[in-house]
Structure 1
Amino acid sequence: MSNGRRSADDYEITPDLPDSALHTTGTDHITLIGSNAEDTIEFYRDVLGMPLVLRQPNLDDPSQTHLFFDSGDGGIVTFFVNEDRDSDPRPQRTGIGAVHHISFSIDPERFVEIKESLDAIGHGYNEFDRGIFHSLYTRDHNGLTIELSTDKWAIPDDRRGEVLATAQRLREEEGVDFAEERHVDAALEELGIDADKYELPDAPTGAGI
């Protein structure tokens, strides 16, 4: 590259732990700057179904309240809110260091039911088949893009990275730009993983909202 930096293609794709001073064990929590408590709770608890599990002052700024939601697998999403802040549903402008979107897992066996529940409350979304997973895209009350993603296969959590890395190798060997269902199917076969495939509705591919 002209700036002397290595490109993403220069780095090996592997599920093996890197030679690093530390290794993380998961995502503990993500904290976002929210608007007010009412709108935040209405979306994350009442629309997405996340229990509100903790509420306390922001330890660094007691003028703000710190809300904690359980995203479903032990990972926590938290917000700093203040009753003087109005929500702004306009799409957020992204830049370096900004949050592009947050993706939450949903149960593949409830995928159609979840779509119907969003339809029932009039909360808009777009649906896409991403080849290796299936997603709904919507926005929260502050314009943050929220992805509701479901796996197409019942892959054990401790093998997901291995499956994706193998699918990556197979799609590169085939010379195509994106990993598709056939690459995951081939990866599962190569790795000897017997993973049931879920029945999901047909949906277009393409960009999110």
Structure 2
Amino acid sequence: MQKIQTQGLHHITLNGADRQTSIDFWEGLLGMPFLFEQPNLDAPDINHLYFDPGDGRLITVFTDESRKKDPAPTPNDVGTVHHIAFSVSRVVFNQIAQRLEERGIPNSGHKDRGFMDSFYFRDPLGHLIELACYKFEPPDGFTHAMVLAEAHNIRVARGDPSINDVHLADAIEDLVRRSQPSLSANRGPKQPY
């Protein structure tokens, strides 16, 4: 028996309401280009919209003009989606509160998650949306996930409850030390003054 190895998220498809609500939210609020549309190939009376969330992958939405938006929170039961998180740059993150306020969209306000900062709000269909910004950039050749896995190991070894700035900084230093050679026999910290 062998695994079926994945190589990244391909797309997420949501059941939407009418076409314009989806376009106004995904492109008009979140800036995701509306790439194309076609009928749902399994149910031709349903429309299928495709948006680029910024990484070339896809968010797709099934729409039907007979369905109306309902902002009531989606169920939080076992097996349901709790929230969908999208990455934003620091400069965009710093503008989120103002841009949501301009539209009268209730939100969580800034949430410090230790290794990232977040805002939460609901889309017009009640899905919980998170806009997140990492507090760090991984070194060349590494991903955010690799830094977080290393920071987790450091956090656990130190008995700390959650990842914070010092774990991230130490993880980045450890990854660089292990991956890049140096002519120095001792690569430890020094006091040059």
TM-score, structure 2 length as denominator?
0.84
- Separation of aligned partners in 2, 1:157 and 1:147: 27
Could you tell me which runs of 5 or more consecutive residues in structure 1 were left unpaired when the two chains were aligned.
Answer: 1-18, 194-209
Larger radius of gyration: 2
| Distance in 2 separating the partners of 1:184 and 1:133 | 11
In the alignment, structure 1 residue 149 sits paired with structure 2 residue 132: yes
Residue 2 of structure 2 corresponds to residue 28 of structure 1: no
Structure 1 stretch displaced more, 108-117 or 143-152? 108-117
Q: Tell me which moved more, 68-77 or 93-102.
A: 93-102
Give the one of 128, 135, 144 matched to 2:118.
Answer: 135
Partner deviation per Cα, 1:88-119 (whole Å, 9 max, x = no partner): 10111122221110000111122222332222
Identify which of 54, 62, 77 aligns with 1:72: 54
1:182-201, Cα deviation, whole Å (9 max, x unpaired): 211111111128xxxxxxxx
- Aligned residues, how many? 175
Deviations 1:131-166 (A, max 9, x none): 000111111001100000011112257432221111
TM superposition score normalised by structure 1: 0.78
Structure 2 equivalent of residue 6 of structure 1: none
Which residue is 2:22 aligned to? 40
CA contact (8 A) 2:137 2:144 kept: no
Report the residue type matching 2:176 in the other structure. Answer: G
| 2:107 is aligned with 1:116 | no
- Partner SS state of residue 63, structure 1: strand
Query: For the structure 1 residues 188 and 20, does the alpha-carbon distance in structure 2 shift closer, same or farther, using more than 3 Å as the test?
Result: farther
Contact 2:93–2:132 (CA under 8 A) maintained in structure 1: no
**Aligned twin of 2:190:** none
Q: Which runs of 5+ in 2 are unaligned?
A: 178-193
The structure with higher relative contact order (CA 8 Å, sep 6+) is 1
Q: CA deviation at 1:20?
A: 4.7
